[in-house]
């Protein structure tokens, strides 16, 4: 389980990592930890899944691409098959099972705006199920921090 130091570290790591030669040493200095301790704690948290990923967060929209939230109503007896088929698309950045008739919700990230509709169509062909697209019309706020 995570200790208080891990929690402190995970909060710090949700902010930007410095672009210096030894960024983990810098983070450690802020928190009173050694570079080796920071590195081994991050490794351990990746291992246990407390951190799913560590690295740059790309914004495909700023690179001329697009994001889109999509959903499928998957019959329960087909869920595992459809999950494997959908997850196999590299354009699927995250995918959640939710408690609703529309029970699979995923985010597509594509290198071009046209890529969203194209990918949604390919997923429909692959799964045989309708993909509903919910592109954002307005964004009201993005909070990056979570309570750790």
Partner 1 sequence: MSVETKISDREIIAALQGGLPIVAAPYAEVAGKLGMSEADLVARIAAMKDSGAIRRIAAAPNHYKLGMVANGMTVWDVEDAQVAELGAQIGALPFVTHCYERPRARDQGWPYNLFAMVHGDTPDEVEAKRAEIAAILGDACHGHDILYSKRILKKTGLRLRKRG
Residues between 54 and 83 with contacts to partner 1, criterion CB under 8 A: 54-60, 62-63, 69, 83
Among 4, 21, 76, 77, binds partner 1 (CB under 8 A): 21
Confirm or reject binding of residue 122 to partner 1 (CB under 8 A).
Answer: no
Three-state SS at 108: strand
128 token code pair:
């045989």
Minimum gap (Å) between residue 117 Cβ and partner 1:
14
- Nearest Cα residue to 109 out of 145, 136, 129, 130: 136
Task: Decide: 18 and 7 in contact? Cβ < 8 Å.
Answer: no
Confirm or reject binding of residue 3 to partner 1 (CB under 8 A).
Answer: no
Three-state SS at 24: helix
Site string for partner 1, 83-112 (x = CB under 8 A): x--xx--xxxxxxxxxxxxx-xxx--x-x-
């Amino acid at each position: 389980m995570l200790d208080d130091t891990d929690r402190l570290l995970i909060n710090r790591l949700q902010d930007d990592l410095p672009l210096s030669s030894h960024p983990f040493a810098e983070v450690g200095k802020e928190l009173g930890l050694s570079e080796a301790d920071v590195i081994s704690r991050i490794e351990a948290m990746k291992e246990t899944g407390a951190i799913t990923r560590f690295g740059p967060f790309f914004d495909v929209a700023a690179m001329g691409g697009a994001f889109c939230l999509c959903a499928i109503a998957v019959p329960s007896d087909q869920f595992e098959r459809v999950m494997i088929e959908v997850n196999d698309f590299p354009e699927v950045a995250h995918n959640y099972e939710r408690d609703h008739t529309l029970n699979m919700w995923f985010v597509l990230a594509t290198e071009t705006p046209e890529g969203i509709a194209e990918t949604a169509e390919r997923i429909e062909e692959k799964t045989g199920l309708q993909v509903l697209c919910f592109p954002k019309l307005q964004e009201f706020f993005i909070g990056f921090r979570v309570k750790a």
